Structure 1
């Protein structure tokens, strides 16, 4: 039995294929989605989406955030931005983290929307750097 996985970016349907399991980075923690999973909708934080077949990771994508809808047979990821792990560049990630840290330090905490946006960018940038450090 498999889970029908769809990953959709703002530009296009990136992926539609069955997988044995998918692990997604929910805002409350990583979620392993198997066939028969309970229905849920969750927001995503910056992190890795791992696709499993035969108990092994066969593909990895970095998602900057978004949402996922899960049913008993399907997992649909609506990604803010997504790229294959191999497309991440360590220097770009480090530069992005430095910019995000600077923006976060300068944001007006009284502006809840700006504070949330700066915090989200910082979390995503740190997740990219951490992901690349794990890969090394």
Structure 2
């Protein structure tokens, strides 16, 4: 059994998770990363994606996050999400609304840098939609 560590997932609305876990897979801006006890200290931004939590009891929980950042220390990990919800509670209309807003941001972009950023965010959202919602 892997060593447990403290994990917290916080959104502006509420604290979603605060417990001892074996591992957490987070959608870091540079790619997915697995956090375990005694992880080297690092801070990373989070892209829209799924956070997979393996509890100390061996259960798996999944949450959708829409950006934020994670603070990882050897003793624990705190993920501060811009928005987060359990996968089982995801609302298809909310994902569709976010995708539409991202398309509008892309079309309204005033320069190439803004357009590129909006395109990347739109791509992340559509990938997320395909990964969590049945067709």
Tell me, in whole angstroms, the C-alpha distance in 2 between the residues paired with 1:76 and 1:18: 12
Please state whether the residue corresponding to 1:6 is helix, strand or coil: strand
The runs of 5 or more residues in structure 1 that have no matched partner are none
The alignment status of 1:71 with 2:73, answered yes or no, reads yes
**Cα distance change, pair 96–126 in 1 and its aligned pair in 2 (3 A):** same
**RMSD (Å) for aligned C-alpha atoms:** 2.5
**Cα distance change, pair 102–56 in 1 and its aligned pair in 2 (3 A):** farther
Conserved in 1, the CA contact under 8 Å of 2:107 and 2:115?
Answer: no
TM-score by length of 1: 0.81
The runs of 5 or more residues in structure 2 that have no matched partner are none
Aligned with 1:85 (options 78, 84, 87) = 87
Conserved in 2, the CA contact under 8 Å of 1:66 and 1:78?
Answer: yes
Aligned residues: 133
Tell me, in whole angstroms, the C-alpha distance in 1 between the residues paired with 2:119 and 2:26: 20
Tell me, in whole angstroms, the C-alpha distance in 2 between the residues paired with 1:12 and 1:91: 21
Partner of 1:3: 5
Aligned with 2:34 (options 32, 38, 43) = 32
Matched ranges for 1:1-136 at <5 A: 1-53=3-55, 58-109=60-111, 112=113, 114-115=114-115, 118-119=118-119, 121-133=121-133
Conserved in 1, the CA contact under 8 Å of 2:9 and 2:81?
Answer: yes
